[in-house]
Each structure stands twice: as structure tokens, then as C-alpha cells.
Amino acid sequence: MKIRHKKHTDENFPVGSFLIRKDLRPLVMDYYRFARYGDDIADAPELDAAEKLRRLGEIEDVLYGKTADIPPELEPTDKLRNDFIRENLSFPLAGDLLTAFRRDAAGFEYQTWRQLTEYCSFSAVPVGRFMLAIHNENPSTYLPAAALCTALQLVNHVQDIKYDAKFLKRVYIPSNLLKKYGVFPDDLLKDKEIPGLTRLKKAVLQKIKGLVKEAEILPSILKSRGLKMEIGVILSLTNIMIQKLEKADVLTNEVKLSGIDWIRSVVFGAAKGFFTRPKTLTTKGF
């Protein structure tokens, strides 16, 4: 495996796709570039933890307007700051991502499932909240969106389990689950899954399926037709990836979505999102 630097076309979900309103796509791409830049710093193998944290601090200073001297590489962050001011968006929708990147940079080790999902509340959930905010969606959409974003993040952790362990020296699977199934960190570097890892993978995917189930109501409670369709596509892609991960040995093969998977999801997922009957949820508790 080689060190990878992702582009928006490499993601397991559409970024700024044609299903999103045309006037919102530049804002979505500015947000993605900000997130991708911070993530690449946190994952950079040539940088030590102190340097990663310093650079992430620079990003935060620009995002929150704490510096007037903006280097060229941080101009996209300044552009996003101006986007947020213009659109009256809450800055933690972007700033919270930096909390997750700092944990990655520092090599945080997860002991429990709760710690891992709390990490997802910074690394993935703000992305969903951002998409809901720019579409002026009701707060009743927040919880199912959080479930979907958490599921997407966890799918990525299972998909990249060997890559993360080998190149980033990072293990996201909580240590108490590793212990429960008799899996050691070195087992993640082997050429094939040991039986305990296969059982662990299936247990994690079962938890992810529960989150996806929670998220399935989302298209029916969204106002934006384009966002309904986009979520339909994402749900379809997520279910396909879960099925692939269940069947594949994640240490032997790089599990990826195929072109056919994308076509199926865009056609059937978008249609399902489009034709979903609207529902109304109470905002009590938000």
C-alpha cells in the first residue's frame, strides 16, 4: 500500500454533487477543501506530532480570524471563514473538525466504543450539521444525520483498518473490543484476518447497521428535494459498502466501491430519496 492523499472523487459519498443546489456547491467544496487539508496534516507521515499540532493551530487561528498574516496555503481557510460570515454559519461546524484532527495527530488511543463514537461527533457529525445548516433544515433532522455521519466514519475505519495501522500507526477499534475478541494490534498488519478479527469486524458492522437504521428516516423529514436524493444515494452506498466489508478480508484486499455501485446508488438511491413520503418529527428535546 502507498500513502494516499484523498480527493473528493475518492470518497465513499458524493461531495458537492449535481444533486445539491448549484448555488451551494462552491460552499460545499470550500468546506471539503478545508477538511481535507486539515486531515492531510493530521495524517502526514513526514511530520511529528508537535508540528502537526502547530499547523492545525495555524488553521484554527485563520478560521477564527485571529491572524492577519495569512500564508498562501491557508488562503482556502480564510475563504471558508468569509463564506461562513456571509452565510451566517456557526464556526464550530468547521472548527470542531480540528478537534478530531488534533486527536489523530496526537495518536489518541480509544479504549471504549463510547470514546470512538465521541470522536466521530467531532470528525464526522459536524459535516452533516453543516449540510443541514446550509439547507436551512429543521433541528429534528440532527439526530438521524448524526447517526448517518457516525456510520460513514466507522465504515471508513473498518475499510482502512490495515492502512491506518501500517502507515499511520493508528488503531481506531477500541482496545476493549480487541481484547474481547482476542485481537492484538499486530494482527491488523497480517496478510489475512484471523478468526477473532473476522468476528470483531462483524460485530462492529452490526453496530454500524444499527446507526444506518436510525438514519433511514432522514430523507422523509428533509425539506430540500436535492438533499433528500443525496442522502438516498449515501444510504445506498453505505449499505453496499457494509455488504462488501462483511464478505471481504479487509487485510487481504482493499475494499472499494465500483463504478456499478455508484451507478446503482445514484439511480435507485436518488429515486428512493425523491419518492419518500414526508414525515414530521417533533423538535422536543432539541
pLDDT digits (tens, 9 = 90+) for 182-231: 999 999 999 999 999 999 999 999 999 999 999 999 999 999 998 998 99
71 part of a folded domain = yes
Query: Which 8-state DSSP code applies to residue 16?
Result: S
Task: Taking residues 27-37, report their average pLDDT.
Answer: 95
What's the pTM? Answer: 0.90
Give percent above pLDDT 70 in the chain. 89
Is 238 part of any domain? no
pLDDT at 284 (0 to 100): 44
Using alpha carbons, select from 92, 237, 274, 67 the residue that is nearest to residue 151.
237
Task: Round to whole Å and give the CA distance between 97 and 129.
Answer: 12
Q: Specify if 61 maps to a domain.
A: yes
* Domain hosting residue 47, numbered range: 21-98
Q: Helices 25-43 and 92-106: crossing angle, nearest 10°?
A: 20
Of all residues in the chain, the percent with pLDDT exceeding 90 is 80
Per DSSP, the residues of 151-181 read HHHHHHHHHTHHHHHHHS----S-HHHHHHT
Give the helix, strand, coil percentages of the chain, each rounded to 5: 65, 0, 35
121-130: per-residue pLDDT in tens? 999 999 999 9
Query: pLDDT class for 2, splitting at 50, 70, 90?
Result: very low
Average pLDDT of the residues in 52-73: 95
Q: What average pLDDT score do residues 95-122 get?
A: 97
Mean pLDDT computed over every residue of the chain: 90
Q: What is the pLDDT, as a whole number, of residue 48?
A: 95
Asked whether 73 and 58 are in contact (CB, 8 A), the reply is: no
* Chain segment 260-277, per-residue pLDDT in tens: 988 888 887 777 766 676
Give per-residue burial for 33-51: e unless 16+ CB within 10 Å, then b.
bbbbbbbebbbbeeeeeee
* Three-state DSSP class for residue 286: coil
pLDDT at 265: 83
DSSP letter, residue 268: I
Which residue, among 180, 181, 194, has the nearest Cα to 250 in the 3D structure? 194
pLDDT mean over 17-41 = 91
Kindly state the average pLDDT of the residues 124-137: 96
What is the average pLDDT across 99-103?
97
* Residue 223 belongs to some domain of the structure: no
The better pLDDT of the pair 17, 37 is held by 37
pLDDT of 23 strictly over 90: yes
* pLDDT surpasses 90 at 255: yes
Please report which confidence band the pLDDT of residue 20 belongs to, taking 50, 70 and 90 as the band edges: confident
- Residue 37 is assigned to a structural domain of this protein: yes
Q: How many domains does the chain have?
A: 1
Mean local confidence (pLDDT), 43-70: 95
Looking at residue 274, its pLDDT comes to 65
d(CA 52, CA 54): 5
Task: Pick the closest to residue 224 from 278, 163, 176, 177 (CA basis).
Answer: 278
Q: Say how many CA atoms lie within 13 Å of 95 toward its Cβ.
A: 14
Distances (CA, A) of 148 to 120, 151, 227, 236: 11, 5, 14, 12
Residue 76 lies in a domain: yes
Q: Is the pLDDT of residue 9 over 70?
A: no
Question: Which carries the bigger pLDDT value, residue 6 or residue 87?
Answer: 87
Is 171 part of any domain? no
Q: Which comes out higher in pLDDT, residue 282 or 165? A: 165
Task: Give the model's confidence band at 146: pLDDT under 50 very low, under 70 low, under 90 confident, else very high.
Answer: very high
Residue 230 lies inside a defined structural domain of this protein:
no
Residue found under cell 495555524: 58
Q: What is the pLDDT of residue 155?
A: 97
Longest dimension (CA), the chain: 55
Q: What is the pLDDT of residue 275?
A: 66
pLDDT of residue 167: 93
